[in-house]
Amino acid sequence: MSVLVGKKAPLFKTSAVIKGNQIVEDFSLEQYLGKKYVLFYFYPADFTFVCPTEILAFQERLQEFEERNVAVIGCSVDSAFSHWKWLQTELKDGGIKGVKYPLVADLSKTISENYDVLAGHYDYSETGESIFHGTPQAYRGLFLIDKNGIVRHQVVNDMPLGRSTDEALRIIDALQYYEENGEVCPANWKKGDKAIKPTQEGIADYLSK
C-alpha cells in the first residue's frame, strides 16, 4: 500500500455526475487547486450495502464540510451512467437520491490504481491473456488534499468497514488549526481543545496540565 501523505495527489480527468443529475466528461481535481481542500474518497461499488450509508452520511454533513472550505468527492469503478441511475433511485428502493456532491467514474480503474486502493492487480495467464487477480473494486480509501494539492491524511478500510464522518471532520479541523496557528494537535484532539506549541517547553506545558 502506497503512502501518499506529503505527496502531490494524483490528478485525473474523467466523467462524473455533479449536482445529483448532471454528467460531465472532463471532471478534474485541478479545479480546486489554490481554492479548496478536497476530501476524496473511494467506495467499492454502486447499488451495494455499506456504500450508500457512507455516501448519504457525507451528504448529511455536507454543509459542515463546505463551512470548512472542503469539497467532498466520491469515486468508484462504476460508470457515470451507473452513478446517475443510482442517484435517481429513491432511498426506499436502495438508492442515494438527494446526494449533490460529485461522484467520479473510474471505469478504467486507473484512478484507484494511482491512489493504490484497487483490491487486486492485473497479470497475464500462461497463454498471454490479461487477467485480474482479486476484486476489481476499490477499498474504502479516503484522502484529505490541501489547497496546494498535497495529500495530508489518508485512511484505507477493507470493504466491510464503513468510515466515520466525525473523524473526517476532526482531521480537517486539526489540519486547519495547525495551518492557522502553527500548533500541533495531540491524540484525540478536537476543535476547541488545547494544542501544543512544537517545542520542548510546549510539550512539557501540555503534559503537565
Q: Where in the chain are the domains?
A: 13-161, 164-209
User: Sign of torsion, CA 22 35 67 161?
Assistant: positive
Task: Give residue-wise pLDDT tens across range 19-67.
Answer: 999 999 999 999 999 999 999 999 999 999 999 999 999 999 999 999 9
C-alpha cell at 207: 503534559
pTM of the model: 0.94
Can you give the pLDDT at residue 131? 83
Q: What are the catalytic residues?
A: 51
What torsion, rounded to 10 degrees, do the Cα atoms 24, 153, 86, 62 define?
A: -90
pLDDT tens digits, 175-188:
999 999 999 999 99
Whether pLDDT at 1 is above 70: no
Mark out the alpha helices in 25-157 (DSSP H runs). Answer: 50-60, 62-67, 80-87, 110-114
Question: What are the φ/ψ torsions at residue 196 (nearest 5 degrees)?
Answer: -125, 130
Distance CA 89, CA 187 (A): 41
- CATH tag for 13-161 (out of 3.20.20.410, 3.40.30.10, 3.40.630.10, 1.20.1250.20): 3.40.30.10
